[in-house]
Structure 1
Amino acid sequence: MPVFDFSDAPDAKNPSECTYTTFQSSEPEASPEKPILVLDNKKRKWQHHSCGMFTNPVKRTTFEFQEKDGTVSADILKIDARFVSLLKWLGENHISVRLSGENRPEGYAVYKIRETAFGGGTKLSAEDGFLQFMIERLFASNAPGENVVDESLEEAGDDMKLTSIQSITDFMNCAGRTLPDNIRLWARRNLAVARSHEVSPEERRHAQRALSIMMNVQWKSNYFESIDPNEARRILDEELYGMERVKQRIIETIIQINRTHTLPAYGLLLVGPAGTGKSQIAYAVARILKLPWTTLDMSSINDPEQLTGSSRIYANAKPGIIMDAFSMAGESNLVFIINELDKAASGKGNGNPADVLLTLLDNLGFTDNYMECMIPTVGVYPIATANDKSQISAPLMSRFAVIDIPDYTAEEKKIIFSRFALPKVLKRMGLKDGECNVASDGLDAVVEFFAGTSGIRDLEQAAEHIAANALYQIEVNHVAEVTFDREMVMKLLEA
């Protein structure tokens, strides 16, 4: 005989009573001074760790404490606006929790919520790990706007941990406001497809996969915290020798970010001979910005579809490299390092892959064919490298601030070899100070030998060769140290 539980149904004679007000907060973590919610403690003072359950909000917005003398209710007085949907979900699903809080004049300030009903169900959301995941994402989000959103609408969540339809649905109901509006609507449509039995299994599989990929990304605002210019300069000096004009240009960009708290309208295009440290500069900028970075090697991309993804009409459809980069980074703010931009060329007659980058570089949004959604790109900072800017189309060039990287002078190469390249190799090979030395005429010979080549890669290879030969002589000939003069260097490099 079926049993029906009408305890959750609203009573027309006794309408639900909302006892709380919401407050706006963007704090990244909670404390007694900045709690998640505040409960009434006029009847009694609650313990630091208290167990119980949020009531179903269709009845009354309270928390039922499980005390030694029975169940005691306390009204919810205030809630961080980001957590309203989460507390509603906890109440509707009758999930037992443990609160950590502190009794204060304004009430019992709750700053931690933990799941206690382990093993009570099969859903991922029945586990504390999922609850903590949702709380972390809510703390990482900005305070929602003042406009009231219909809570009955399904909203979207975000993370690859959410692979099942049930866990995705739970997260959408609790933390959907952490997503941009267009992605929230997109997620609702794709969830409907993933649940539908009126579409093919392939369509359902693609929809669920797209949801999991999209939810892996934490969609952040385009607000950037100030960056210490002195620390930025230290990183540049640590990574690069010389290049004062290049460093000055990068510091100017940092100062601009500090003033506007947004990324510059244009990315950087580093143009120069091979081996002059263009990629190293790009990695240094990503380190200064404290952003994850990803690389696009345009010389190996011969089809625009590799960047834009393939349509879901194909069974083996998949997202493009750009969407994969967002997914791997786990957030929407990242540095795109586009290597060899001048070597991008059409391969299958489908157009130039480099032209696909135009929308990404405009920061207006990027559309992936598989995701079928406009991806916000306001937090993307592109840094491209090239050897010959004449091979880059005018529309692409107009999206970058160009920095010409000059080749190193002979004196700079001597300093780089003696202070950086050789000591780095000696340390890696385990050679002690004084075991491998290069005389001044030997240093001149190294630089002269590679005078016709650009960059410092040949110098680094020469350092490897010299250090390996010194190690051989020390181990085989049992000499205490080796000093390379001009004659020894030339003989070694010409061999």
Structure 2
Amino acid sequence: MIVSLPEQKDKTEITGGFSKTGKSYAFEYKTGGKLFSLKVKALDVRYEKLVDYLSKNHFAVRISGDFLTAGFRIRKIRAGQSMESDSLKPVSGDLIKSMVERLRTSQIVIRDNENKKASAITRIPELRDYVWCMEDTLPDNIRDWAYSTLRLLDDDTIGADEKRHAQHALSLMMSVQWKTSFFEPIDPHEARQILDDELYGLEEVKQRVIETIIQINRTHTLPFYGLLLVGPAGTGKSQIAYAVAKILKMPWAVLDMSTVRDPSALTGSSRIYVNARTGRIMDAFVKAGSSNVVFVINELDKADSNTSNGNSADSLLTLFDNLGFTDNYMECAIPTNGVYPIATANDISKISGPLRSRFAVIEIPDYTPKEKKIIFRDYSLPKILKHLGMKPEECSLTESAVNSIIEHFHDTPGCRDLEQAAEHLASHALYEIEATGKKSIRFNEGQVNRILGFD
């Protein structure tokens, strides 16, 4: 941090306090009964909040540093002794020392405040004003529900727990932007490029995916059917799902059905319970901040059907119909015409008929040995090297070494084993480079077999 030069050129330690005028900071101190102000000319982003904290609370601090041509460079900030004659307050020396040391040794992530999601509105007066101002942007049933909830919050005969739940539900509902169901056309060439960037091969699958979602260009609504991607593990089903969300330019939410043991996990619990809460589906709307969401439903066939409350997956049926989804906690039907479901599964026979009928089923075939070789060489290994911060020339394999890997995994479905082999070899190469000072490592077939345990 650099401040303007003090008049006393012999002082390398000054006691005073930070102040803020508009967006500018200054360090003010008194000497000889006179007030001096040193303008902050340069401030490391790591210390912005600290300086703001010190100025808002009028804490007394000691700054020390050295003189430069550009100004006085502050090297240390410590707790200062406040005087009865000034308005500065004492601050804990340990607190300042801890904060300065933590900031000095940390890297700060610069966040884009312009795109930062708005904070939730939670106070009742603010909720009342928000509903009144935003009522024309709300679907009719949500607007009516919101005013009914506000009336409940004003009712003195309603219990505290019920009011608390109602207030929370209203806050959640107002945090979602309820959009129209009009969707802009998609560019089929851009869509194909996004799919090609995500995964290699599967030409027929990519074509079928684009044919399903291209309907938007004429109807300007989401396709009538969602996508059900069925195939062995590791064949790129989830990658396709995320790629479609990018094509549609919509936020996505992930539901992992293998972890859902009861339908209430999806649909929420009734407010009659003290610990009632929303389900994962409503949570996804809130997290996305939008009613237009791609729901990526992983392992739909793994949903637990052996519960007394029924099959958890069947709770999704109303989410896929354009009749509205009702969360038990919210007690209000949520419009679902902006929801596009994409599900993945290994065994389609374990999915109920009514649920399966909501999807266009696309079978994902396993890769051929030739395709696996290209994926390992041109996708998996470069991806791992980039993740490890390595250059392509630092880790390479002979043709016979690559063939040995493909031969070993030729009957293994998917490509996850190939990526794990790439990670093992890249990590081994990185160790050799760091430990021995070698510039690069090129593995032959014998080395690959030994390192990966094929021998």
TM-score using structure 2 length: 0.72
Instruction: Tell whether the 8 Å contact from 1:195 to 1:204 is kept in structure 2 after alignment.
Output: no
From 301, 309, 313, the equivalent of 1:342 is: 301
The 2-side partners of 1:254 and 1:260 are apart by 11
Give the residue type in structure 1 aligned to 2:298. Answer: N
The 2-side partners of 1:179 and 1:301 are apart by 31
Shift of 1:365: 0.8
Comparing 160-169 and 301-310, the one that deviates more:
160-169
The 1-side partners of 2:413 and 2:234 are apart by 7
Residue equivalent to 1:418: 377
Equivalent positions of 1:88-107 (< 5 A) are none
* Structure 2: stretches of 5+ with no match in the other structure: 1-117
1:325 aligns with 2:284: yes
From 233, 237, 245, the equivalent of 1:278 is: 237
Residue equivalent to 1:372: 331
From 361, 368, 372, the equivalent of 2:320 is: 361
Residue equivalent to 1:447: 406
The 2-side partners of 1:280 and 1:345 are apart by 24
* Structure 1: stretches of 5+ with no match in the other structure: 1-158
Residue equivalent to 1:102: none
Q: Cα 1:218–1:430, aligned 2, differ >3 Å: closer, same or farther? A: closer
1:390 aligns with 2:349: yes
Residue equivalent to 1:478: 437
Q: Secondary structure at the match of 2:317?
A: helix
Give the residue type in structure 1 aligned to 2:129. Answer: D
Instruction: Tell whether the 8 Å contact from 1:235 to 1:288 is kept in structure 2 after alignment.
Output: yes
Residue equivalent to 1:211: 170
From 382, 395, 404, the equivalent of 2:363 is: 404
The 1-side partners of 2:294 and 2:212 are apart by 14
Shift of 1:425: 1.4
Q: RMSD of the alignment, in Å?
A: 1.5
1:242 aligns with 2:201: yes
Comparing 375-384 and 201-210, the one that deviates more:
201-210
Q: Cα 1:480–1:274, aligned 2, differ >3 Å: closer, same or farther? A: same
Instruction: Tell whether the 8 Å contact from 2:142 to 2:332 is kept in structure 1 after alignment.
Output: yes
Instruction: Tell whether the 8 Å contact from 2:213 to 2:223 is kept in structure 1 after alignment.
Output: no
From 182, 189, 208, the equivalent of 1:230 is: 189
Q: Cα 1:161–1:474, aligned 2, differ >3 Å: closer, same or farther? A: closer
Shift of 1:168: 1.5
From 436, 453, 469, the equivalent of 2:395 is: 436
Shift of 1:337: 0.5
Q: Deviations over 1:113-160 (max 9, x none)?
A: xxxxxxxxxxxxxxxxxxxxxxxxxxxxxxxxxxxxxxxxxxxxxx86
Shift of 1:221: 0.9
Residue equivalent to 2:427: 468
Instruction: Tell whether the 8 Å contact from 1:368 to 1:374 is kept in structure 2 after alignment.
Output: yes
Instruction: Tell whether the 8 Å contact from 1:442 to 1:486 is kept in structure 2 after alignment.
Output: yes
Shift of 1:477: 3.3
The 2-side partners of 1:457 and 1:425 are apart by 12
Instruction: Tell whether the 8 Å contact from 2:213 to 2:222 is kept in structure 1 after alignment.
Output: no
Shift of 1:331: 0.8
Shift of 1:188: 1.1
The 2-side partners of 1:492 and 1:407 are apart by 26
Q: Deviations over 1:85-130 (max 9, x none)?
A: xxxxxxxxxxxxxxxxxxxxxxxxxxxxxxxxxxxxxxxxxxxxxx
Instruction: Tell whether the 8 Å contact from 2:301 to 2:350 is kept in structure 1 after alignment.
Output: yes
Shift of 1:346: 3.2
The 2-side partners of 1:322 and 1:254 are apart by 23
From 168, 187, 200, the equivalent of 2:127 is: 168
Instruction: Tell whether the 8 Å contact from 1:239 to 1:280 is kept in structure 2 after alignment.
Output: yes
Shift of 1:254: 3.4
TM-score using structure 1 length: 0.66
Provide the identity percentage.
Answer: 63
Comparing 480-489 and 220-229, the one that deviates more:
480-489
Q: Cα 1:206–1:410, aligned 2, differ >3 Å: closer, same or farther? A: same
1:195 aligns with 2:144: no
Shift of 1:433: 3.6
Comparing 469-478 and 264-273, the one that deviates more:
469-478
The 2-side partners of 1:307 and 1:430 are apart by 40
Q: Secondary structure at the match of 1:336?
A: strand
Instruction: Tell whether the 8 Å contact from 1:303 to 1:347 is kept in structure 2 after alignment.
Output: no
Shift of 1:356: 0.3
The 2-side partners of 1:472 and 1:170 are apart by 61
Shift of 1:431: 2.6
The 2-side partners of 1:210 and 1:480 are apart by 59
The 2-side partners of 1:204 and 1:403 are apart by 47
The 2-side partners of 1:230 and 1:210 are apart by 42
Q: Deviations over 1:456-492 (max 9, x none)?
A: 1000010011111222222333333322122111111
Give the residue type in structure 1 aligned to 2:438. Answer: V
Q: Deviations over 1:37-76 (max 9, x none)?
A: xxxxxxxxxxxxxxxxxxxxxxxxxxxxxxxxxxxxxxxx
The 2-side partners of 1:336 and 1:320 are apart by 14
Equivalent positions of 1:46-61 (< 5 A) are none
Give the residue type in structure 2 aligned to 1:332. Answer: S
Comparing 263-272 and 419-428, the one that deviates more:
419-428
